[in-house]
Amino acid sequence: MTPWPMLLPEGVDRGSAAPVEAPPRSPWRRRALLLVPLGLAAGAGAGFYAMLRGMQTGDYDPKGLPSALLGKPPPDFALPPLEGSDRPALTAAELRSPARPVLVNFFASWCLPCVVEHPMLTRLARAGVPIMGVAYKDRPEDAAAFLRQHGNPFARIGLDLPGRVAIDWGVYGVPETYLIDRRGIIRWRWAGPLTEDMVSRELEPLLRRHAA
Protein backbone atom coordinates (compact mmCIF):
# COMPACT_ATOMS: atom_id res chain seq x y z
CA MET A 1 0.00 0.00 0.00
CA THR A 2 1.17 3.45 -0.70
CA PRO A 3 1.18 5.83 2.21
CA TRP A 4 -1.10 8.33 0.43
CA PRO A 5 -3.70 6.27 -1.35
CA MET A 6 -5.91 9.20 -2.18
CA LEU A 7 -3.20 10.93 -4.15
CA LEU A 8 -3.24 8.16 -6.70
CA PRO A 9 -5.79 8.63 -9.44
CA GLU A 10 -8.69 6.29 -9.69
CA GLY A 11 -8.01 3.10 -11.56
CA VAL A 12 -4.50 2.56 -10.28
CA ASP A 13 -4.17 -0.94 -9.02
CA ARG A 14 -3.03 -0.51 -5.46
CA GLY A 15 -1.95 -4.08 -5.16
CA SER A 16 -4.88 -5.09 -3.03
CA ALA A 17 -6.59 -8.38 -3.79
CA ALA A 18 -9.81 -6.83 -5.04
CA PRO A 19 -8.84 -3.51 -6.55
CA VAL A 20 -12.10 -2.51 -8.18
CA GLU A 21 -14.76 -3.51 -5.72
CA ALA A 22 -13.13 -2.12 -2.60
CA PRO A 23 -11.37 1.14 -3.27
CA PRO A 24 -9.37 1.62 -0.07
CA ARG A 25 -10.04 5.25 0.58
CA SER A 26 -12.39 7.31 2.60
CA PRO A 27 -15.12 8.96 0.52
CA TRP A 28 -14.92 12.05 2.72
CA ARG A 29 -11.28 12.62 2.02
CA ARG A 30 -11.95 12.21 -1.67
CA ARG A 31 -14.83 14.66 -1.47
CA ALA A 32 -12.63 17.17 0.30
CA LEU A 33 -10.00 16.73 -2.38
CA LEU A 34 -12.58 17.37 -5.09
CA LEU A 35 -13.47 20.64 -3.35
CA VAL A 36 -9.91 21.96 -3.56
CA PRO A 37 -10.16 23.40 -7.11
CA LEU A 38 -13.35 25.24 -6.19
CA GLY A 39 -11.75 26.66 -3.06
CA LEU A 40 -8.66 27.83 -4.92
CA ALA A 41 -10.76 29.41 -7.66
CA ALA A 42 -12.89 31.20 -5.08
CA GLY A 43 -9.80 32.51 -3.29
CA ALA A 44 -8.27 33.75 -6.51
CA GLY A 45 -11.56 35.34 -7.49
CA ALA A 46 -11.79 37.22 -4.20
CA GLY A 47 -8.22 38.42 -4.66
CA PHE A 48 -8.87 39.60 -8.22
CA TYR A 49 -11.99 41.41 -7.05
CA ALA A 50 -9.96 43.18 -4.35
CA MET A 51 -7.43 44.21 -7.01
CA LEU A 52 -10.11 45.62 -9.28
CA ARG A 53 -11.68 47.51 -6.38
CA GLY A 54 -8.27 48.76 -5.35
CA MET A 55 -7.63 50.02 -8.87
CA GLN A 56 -10.78 52.13 -8.68
CA THR A 57 -10.00 53.54 -5.25
CA GLY A 58 -6.31 53.93 -5.99
CA ASP A 59 -5.09 51.44 -3.37
CA TYR A 60 -3.83 49.01 -5.96
CA ASP A 61 -1.72 50.21 -8.84
CA PRO A 62 -0.23 47.50 -11.01
CA LYS A 63 1.73 50.00 -13.09
CA GLY A 64 3.48 51.85 -10.30
CA LEU A 65 6.78 50.57 -9.04
CA PRO A 66 6.85 52.65 -5.91
CA SER A 67 9.89 52.19 -3.84
CA ALA A 68 9.63 51.79 -0.12
CA LEU A 69 12.41 54.36 -0.10
CA LEU A 70 10.55 57.22 -1.77
CA GLY A 71 10.63 60.18 0.58
CA LYS A 72 13.38 58.59 2.66
CA PRO A 73 17.15 58.82 2.60
CA PRO A 74 18.97 55.97 0.85
CA PRO A 75 20.16 53.08 3.02
CA ASP A 76 23.68 53.24 4.34
CA PHE A 77 26.33 51.68 2.14
CA ALA A 78 29.94 51.95 1.06
CA LEU A 79 30.99 50.54 -2.29
CA PRO A 80 34.53 50.06 -3.58
CA PRO A 81 35.59 52.08 -6.64
CA LEU A 82 35.50 50.57 -10.12
CA GLU A 83 39.10 49.84 -11.06
CA GLY A 84 40.08 51.35 -14.38
CA SER A 85 37.35 53.98 -14.46
CA ASP A 86 39.40 56.83 -12.85
CA ARG A 87 36.41 57.73 -10.70
CA PRO A 88 36.22 57.80 -6.91
CA ALA A 89 34.19 55.27 -4.96
CA LEU A 90 30.58 55.80 -3.95
CA THR A 91 29.31 55.77 -0.37
CA ALA A 92 26.08 56.88 1.25
CA ALA A 93 27.95 59.90 2.68
CA GLU A 94 28.12 61.53 -0.78
CA LEU A 95 24.34 61.35 -1.03
CA ARG A 96 23.52 62.87 2.40
CA SER A 97 23.36 66.49 1.36
CA PRO A 98 24.65 67.01 -2.17
CA ALA A 99 25.12 70.55 -3.48
CA ARG A 100 22.55 69.87 -6.17
CA PRO A 101 20.12 67.02 -6.90
CA VAL A 102 21.91 63.90 -8.04
CA LEU A 103 20.92 60.84 -10.01
CA VAL A 104 21.98 57.38 -8.93
CA ASN A 105 22.02 54.96 -11.84
CA PHE A 106 22.36 51.19 -11.51
CA PHE A 107 23.87 49.75 -14.68
CA ALA A 108 25.75 46.75 -16.01
CA SER A 109 27.74 46.05 -19.12
CA TRP A 110 25.69 42.93 -19.77
CA CYS A 111 22.44 44.83 -19.87
CA LEU A 112 21.28 45.89 -23.31
CA PRO A 113 18.74 48.52 -22.19
CA CYS A 114 21.63 50.18 -20.32
CA VAL A 115 23.33 50.76 -23.65
CA VAL A 116 20.12 52.22 -24.98
CA GLU A 117 19.86 54.74 -22.16
CA HIS A 118 23.56 55.57 -22.10
CA PRO A 119 23.38 58.52 -24.54
CA MET A 120 20.63 59.99 -22.33
CA LEU A 121 22.86 59.76 -19.24
CA THR A 122 25.67 61.36 -21.19
CA ARG A 123 23.39 64.21 -22.22
CA LEU A 124 22.21 64.77 -18.66
CA ALA A 125 25.80 64.74 -17.42
CA ARG A 126 26.77 67.32 -20.05
CA ALA A 127 23.85 69.44 -18.88
CA GLY A 128 25.50 69.44 -15.46
CA VAL A 129 23.48 66.85 -13.58
CA PRO A 130 25.77 64.89 -11.28
CA ILE A 131 25.23 61.17 -11.90
CA MET A 132 26.47 58.46 -9.57
CA GLY A 133 26.89 55.04 -11.06
CA VAL A 134 26.55 51.65 -9.43
CA ALA A 135 27.98 48.82 -11.51
CA TYR A 136 25.61 46.01 -10.66
CA LYS A 137 26.82 42.39 -10.65
CA ASP A 138 29.42 43.12 -13.25
CA ARG A 139 33.03 42.10 -13.65
CA PRO A 140 35.14 45.23 -13.03
CA GLU A 141 37.05 44.87 -16.30
CA ASP A 142 33.81 44.50 -18.29
CA ALA A 143 32.23 47.53 -16.63
CA ALA A 144 35.36 49.61 -17.24
CA ALA A 145 35.51 48.51 -20.88
CA PHE A 146 31.83 49.38 -21.26
CA LEU A 147 32.50 52.93 -20.01
CA ARG A 148 35.59 53.30 -22.19
CA GLN A 149 33.56 52.29 -25.24
CA HIS A 150 30.41 54.31 -24.61
CA GLY A 151 31.75 57.20 -22.54
CA ASN A 152 31.64 57.73 -18.82
CA PRO A 153 28.91 60.08 -17.61
CA PHE A 154 29.37 59.19 -13.93
CA ALA A 155 30.94 61.47 -11.31
CA ARG A 156 31.50 58.55 -8.95
CA ILE A 157 31.15 54.83 -9.46
CA GLY A 158 30.66 52.11 -6.89
CA LEU A 159 31.10 48.45 -7.73
CA ASP A 160 28.29 46.30 -6.37
CA LEU A 161 29.60 42.90 -7.35
CA PRO A 162 27.37 40.80 -5.06
CA GLY A 163 24.34 43.02 -5.70
CA ARG A 164 23.81 43.53 -1.96
CA VAL A 165 23.37 47.31 -2.17
CA ALA A 166 20.89 46.90 -5.02
CA ILE A 167 18.82 44.67 -2.75
CA ASP A 168 18.85 47.30 0.00
CA TRP A 169 17.66 49.90 -2.47
CA GLY A 170 14.99 47.56 -3.78
CA VAL A 171 16.31 47.66 -7.32
CA TYR A 172 13.84 46.04 -9.70
CA GLY A 173 16.35 45.40 -12.46
CA VAL A 174 19.04 47.28 -14.32
CA PRO A 175 18.96 49.94 -15.57
CA GLU A 176 17.29 51.80 -12.76
CA THR A 177 17.63 55.44 -11.82
CA TYR A 178 16.92 57.33 -8.60
CA LEU A 179 16.73 61.07 -8.01
CA ILE A 180 18.03 62.32 -4.68
CA ASP A 181 17.32 65.89 -3.64
CA ARG A 182 19.60 68.33 -1.82
CA ARG A 183 18.48 67.14 1.56
CA GLY A 184 19.48 63.60 0.63
CA ILE A 185 15.95 62.28 0.18
CA ILE A 186 14.97 59.90 -2.65
CA ARG A 187 12.36 61.73 -4.70
CA TRP A 188 11.90 59.66 -7.85
CA ARG A 189 12.68 56.31 -9.25
CA TRP A 190 12.54 54.89 -12.75
CA ALA A 191 12.99 51.23 -13.57
CA GLY A 192 14.04 50.65 -17.15
CA PRO A 193 15.96 52.76 -19.65
CA LEU A 194 15.56 56.53 -19.48
CA THR A 195 13.79 57.63 -22.61
CA GLU A 196 13.54 61.04 -24.20
CA ASP A 197 9.88 61.19 -23.33
CA MET A 198 10.34 60.18 -19.70
CA VAL A 199 13.18 62.62 -19.12
CA SER A 200 11.37 65.63 -20.56
CA ARG A 201 8.03 64.75 -18.96
CA GLU A 202 9.11 63.69 -15.47
CA LEU A 203 12.77 64.01 -14.70
CA GLU A 204 13.55 67.52 -15.95
CA PRO A 205 10.64 69.21 -14.10
CA LEU A 206 11.70 67.37 -10.95
CA LEU A 207 15.32 68.41 -11.40
CA ARG A 208 14.23 72.02 -11.77
CA ARG A 209 11.96 71.84 -8.74
CA HIS A 210 14.56 70.29 -6.46
CA ALA A 211 17.40 72.45 -7.72
CA ALA A 212 15.98 75.49 -5.92
Partner 1 sequence: MIPELGHFALALALMLSLAQGIFGLWGAQRSDARMMAAAPPLAAGTLLAVITAFGCLMWSYVTNDTTVANVVQNSHSAKPLLYKLTGTWGNHEGSMVLWVLILALCGGAVAAFGRELPSRLQARVLAVLALVAVGFLAFILGTSNPFARIWPPAPDGQGLNPILQDPGLAFHPPLLYLGYVGCAVTYAFAVAALIEGRVDAAWGRWVRPWALASWSFLTLGIALGSWWAYYELGWGGYWFWDPVENASLLPWLAGTALLHSAVVVEKREALKTWTVFLALLAFGMSLLGTFLVRSGVLTSVHAFANDPARGVFILVLLMLYVGGGFALFAWRAAAMAPTGVFAPLSREGALVLNNLLLCSIAAVVLIGTLYPMFADLILQQKISVGPPFFNTALFPLAVPLVAAMAIGPLMPWKRARLWPVLQRLWWAALGGAAALLLCLAVEGWRIFPALGFAAAAWLILAALADLADRIALFSRPAAAWARAKGLPRAAWGAAVAHAGLGVTILGLAGMGLAQDRLVLMKPGETASLGGYTYRLDELRDAAGPNWRGREAVLTVLQDGRTVTVLRPQKRSFPVGRMTTTEAAIHTTWLADLYTVMGDERDGGAVIRMHHNPLAPWIWLGAAVMALGGGISLSDRRVRVSAPAPKTVRGEAPA
Q: Do 69 and 169 contact (CB within 8 A), yes or no? A: yes
Closest CA to 166 of 84, 99, 111: 111
List strands edge to edge, sheet with 186-191: 156-160, 131-136, 102-107, 176-180, 186-191
Among the listed residues 1, 3, 4, 37, the single contact to partner 1 using CB under 8 A:
37
58 in contact with partner 1 (CB under 8 A): no
Dist. CA 46–CA 28, nearest whole Å: 26
71 in contact with partner 1 (CB under 8 A): no
Among the listed residues 22, 24, 26, 52, the single contact to partner 1 using CB under 8 A:
52
Give the N- to C-terminal CA distance of the chain in Å, as an integer.
Answer: 77
Among the listed residues 1, 3, 4, 10, the single contact to partner 1 using CB under 8 A:
10
Say if strands 156-160 and 131-136 run parallel, antiparallel, or are unpaired: parallel
27 in contact with partner 1 (CB under 8 A): yes
Q: Among residues 53 and 208, whose Cβ is nearest to partner 1? A: 53
Residues that bind partner 1 (CB under 8 A): 8-13, 19-20, 27, 30-31, 34-35, 37-38, 41-42, 44-45, 47-52, 54-56, 60, 62-67, 112, 115-116, 119, 149-150, 170, 172-173
